Amino acid sequence: MAVHNALFMTLFISMAHVSPAIAVYGGLVVGNGPGALFVVAGLIYFVRCFGVTVFFNVPMNETLAGMEAYSAEASA
Instruction: Give 9-62 pLDDT, tens digit per residue.
Output: 888 888 888 999 999 999 899 988 889 999 999 999 888 888 888 888 888 888
In a domain, 28, yes or no: yes
What CA–CA distance (Å, rounded) separates 75 from 53? 22
In a domain, 68, yes or no: no
Q: Is the pTM of this model over 0.75?
A: no
In a domain, 63, yes or no: no
41-73 b/e (C-beta count within 10 Å ≥ 16 → b) = ebbebbeeebeeeeeeeeeeeeeeeeeeeeeee
- Main-chain dihedrals φ then ψ at residue 60, nearest 5 degrees: -65, -45
**Domain with 22 in it:** 16-56
Cβ pair 37, 2 in contact under 8 A: no
In a domain, 2, yes or no: no
In a domain, 74, yes or no: no
In a domain, 62, yes or no: no
Domain tally, the chain = 1
Q: Is 1 helix (H, G, I), strand (E, B) or coil?
A: coil
